[in-house]
Structure 1
Amino acid sequence: MSFQLRREEILSGEQLSAMLEESPARAAQAILLAAGEGEVEAQALLGQILLEGQGIARDQPLALRWFGIAAGRGHLMARNMLGRCLEHGWGCRADASVAAQHYRIAADAGMDWAMYNLANLLATGRGVVVDHLQALALYRRAAERGHAKSMNLLGRYLEEGQACPADPVMAREWYRRAAKGGDFRGQFSYAAVLAGEGRIDEAVAWLEKALAGGNLNFLRVASQTLSSATDPRIQVLASRYQLRTDELSRSA
């Protein structure tokens, strides 16, 4: 079945995003039409669905092209995604240095995801010189804008006293906010703090949330960390983490 939309039926970016949830194939046709008519939000969305193969054939090089078009017109998330493609080699040769340039443009314009992605490169020295002070500042800026993953990493810097004085009280608070914000690593971090305070039941509840949302790389590390737990309630969870890790590994 094909879907034909007239020019007057072009939808807004918000409408197109909602349509993706209901009918990816129909949404893809609408996004193609709107992108071709110059709607910048649709151009960014087209890059995303091409990257993921959502309702349309997966095509990373074409996704990269559409991200570039939207980024050139000032779309910040498209600029961030252009950086992601370059960082990971999606549709192009990986180049973390050029990715950092795109992240910086979007970060300077206020895009929290770009702040987070640029901070990750600065913290690990991929494509840029290691700079923990700048990474910390970016994580803090993004966290203050409500970015949950940045909240967790800000908490880690504060807990470890890296590039700043150690502040376990504020580290705990940022872990709590990250956990509440839905970041599975933040949930695990906050659970660790709660367990250290002897609040095991609360810790287990957050560990269960992290288990439900965590990806394979996270679960591999988390299951090893939990394997040394002495509390029987956490030992049970450690087994579940390992089982989930094995399941994801087989399907990878």
Structure 2
Amino acid sequence: MKRVGSVLIWLAASAAPLHAEPPNISWEWYNAAELHQVQTGRGRGDPRLATHYFRLAAEKGNAAAAYKLGEIYENGQGIAKDPVQAFSWYMKAAARNDKHGQLKVGWCYQKGIAVAADPAIAAIWYRTAAENDNIWGYHMLAFMLADGEGMKKDPALARRYLELSLPKTNDHWAKWKLAHLIEAEDPAKSKTLLREAATAGNVQAAEDLKRYRD
């Protein structure tokens, strides 16, 4: 996979975020892009036009449009998938304080998508997203803290972050992880969480439940 220089990108992202409001026209372009992105009562959307208008808005400093462009390139919505372009637009959104872009930059660094994998930098971006009111930032931090990935292992803080984020994410992997973190202290609740995760399709949780039946 083609990669970009993670050091240069990290230095660029460390600069002060660009918080200036984008011009109103950028929101008109953003709305036009959304109309072309989805199928409406007037017919099918046009993903190429959606990309065009999101790009116009993003180039005027619209962080939400930059994030949307990142998704388009990541998923190949009407164009070829391009992880390098996806990361670039996520970074531009993140630098303008977009909490969704910040989360995605963290994900790219954690998984090594378009940049060299660096869990320590991923954790920084997840924390930035979390402090910017992105509940999934706490979710991702919890897993890294529980496993000691990119930061010192801290099961107590991992539990706190999962208990904070789980009511909003309702993620079955979060239930599975929290179940293991509280198993010794509260086996009844741990079993309940495993059962809920298994019902949601988590095969590992279903396997772990067998311990309670043995």
- Per the normalisation by structure 2, the TM-score is 0.75
The structure 1 segments of at least 4 consecutive aligned residues displaced by more than 4 Å after TM superposition are: none
* 1:86 maps to 2:73: yes
Q: In structure 1, what is the equivalent of residue 115 of structure 2?
A: 128
Q: In structure 2, what is the equivalent of residue 77 of structure 1?
A: 64
CA distance change for structure 1 residues 62 and 195 in 2, over 3 Å: closer, same or farther? farther
* 1:51 maps to 2:51: no
Render the CA deviation track for 1:2-61: whole Å, top value 9, x for unaligned: xxxxxxxxxxxxxxxxxxxxxxxxxxxxxxxxxxxx743343234334334255523222
CA drift of 1:182 comes to 2.7
* 1:40 maps to 2:26: yes
Render the CA deviation track for 1:112-158: whole Å, top value 9, x for unaligned: 10011111111111211111111110001111222122211101111
CA drift of 1:231 comes to 3.0
SS of alignment partner, residue 227 of structure 1: helix
Q: Residues 67 and 101 of structure 2 are in contact (CA less than 8 Å); yes or no, is this contact kept in structure 1?
A: yes
Q: Residues 86 and 96 of structure 1 are in contact (CA less than 8 Å); yes or no, is this contact kept in structure 2?
A: yes
Structure 2 gap segments, 5+ residues each: 1-23
* 1:197 maps to 2:185: yes
Q: In structure 1, what is the equivalent of residue 207 of structure 2?
A: 227
2-side partners of 1:146 and 1:178: how far apart? 11
Instruction: Please tell me the residue identity of whatever aligns with 1:65.
Output: H
Render the CA deviation track for 1:175-233: whole Å, top value 9, x for unaligned: 1111133352444433443445334347636864x689x7xxxx4xx22432231335x
SS of alignment partner, residue 162 of structure 1: coil
Moved more, 42-51 or 110-119: 42-51
2-side partners of 1:84 and 1:111: how far apart? 14
Q: Residues 70 and 78 of structure 1 are in contact (CA less than 8 Å); yes or no, is this contact kept in structure 2?
A: yes
1-side partners of 2:195 and 2:126: how far apart? 23
Q: Residues 178 and 187 of structure 1 are in contact (CA less than 8 Å); yes or no, is this contact kept in structure 2?
A: no
2-side partners of 1:92 and 1:40: how far apart? 22
Q: Residues 155 and 181 of structure 2 are in contact (CA less than 8 Å); yes or no, is this contact kept in structure 1?
A: no
CA distance change for structure 1 residues 201 and 83 in 2, over 3 Å: closer, same or farther? same
For residues 136-215 of structure 1, what are the structure 2 equivalents within 5 Å? 136-184=123-171, 185-201=173-189, 204=192, 208=196
Structure 1 gap segments, 5+ residues each: 1-37, 233-252
| Residue identity (%) | 21
Q: Residues 62 and 91 of structure 1 are in contact (CA less than 8 Å); yes or no, is this contact kept in structure 2?
A: no
Q: Residues 116 and 139 of structure 1 are in contact (CA less than 8 Å); yes or no, is this contact kept in structure 2?
A: yes
The structure number with the bigger radius of gyration is 1
SS of alignment partner, residue 127 of structure 1: coil
Moved more, 49-58 or 222-231: 49-58
Q: Which structure shows the higher helix fraction? A: 1
Q: In structure 1, what is the equivalent of residue 20 of structure 2?
A: none
1-side partners of 2:207 and 2:32: how far apart? 43
Instruction: Please tell me the residue identity of whatever aligns with 1:64.
Output: T
